[in-house]
Structure 1
């Protein structure tokens, strides 16, 4: 049977655009009063995120929690700091409800302040293909944790399980 579905008007991408691989680099955990979060930098392989930029993001996210705009309550999770040209994305992800990932997403343009990700067309942006690399790893790491004894050793094993490499 011939395929009669016409997809010519859907999913079109500028032919000049080239998909590049990005580097995922773990950094020090962010320890908050009521949460412990792994940290991942996502960047072009030849353009690592500067320490000062990472520090700015860490301070911003800690301030969001301290101000109660993001509420932590005994959470484990991870952060993805993604450098995308002149925009820096900070994604704070918490494991909640046993098997749910909850996320707060922020963007900073040209070194400006971080602001919450905004809706467009009734949708909220979540993650791009590069940010999904660490998230996919974390999904598997959290599943291993859920299958474990979920004790101190299992929590330490979860925190030690990090992704590094190209996505």
Structure 2
């Protein structure tokens, strides 16, 4: 797990710190790919017990792979398919304790056991999703969801 010099033991405080780091990384940069690449690298370094962090961007009626950290991934996901497509279609965060129990789960990495997917919305328009996978079942909880949603709120202004 990434531990910056000023690492704090509180998960909430650490999330607040990483959100501040995101703001600093994005400040003044307008390139979508650069911003998503830095955001995925920041989260991959910050979060423990994750094996994939990345973005899928909406193009027409499907999600297309964007910047990520992890093993190669599925390139295109139809809306409504798998966790990413379902989160995109419903425009709601989805936390999955055990991906093998999620109907229609798309297995890009066999090691993934749990997942959280957050829609990226500009107003009511879907931009894409943030997808985070873990090799540990039930890895993501309400604290993760709350602060990752705040992370996406900051990010959306730069994509």
Which structure has the larger Rg?
1
Query: Higher strand fraction: Structure 1 or Structure 2?
Result: 1
Query: Higher helix fraction: Structure 1 or Structure 2?
Result: 2
* TM beyond 0.5: no
TM-score, scaled relative to structure 1 = 0.29
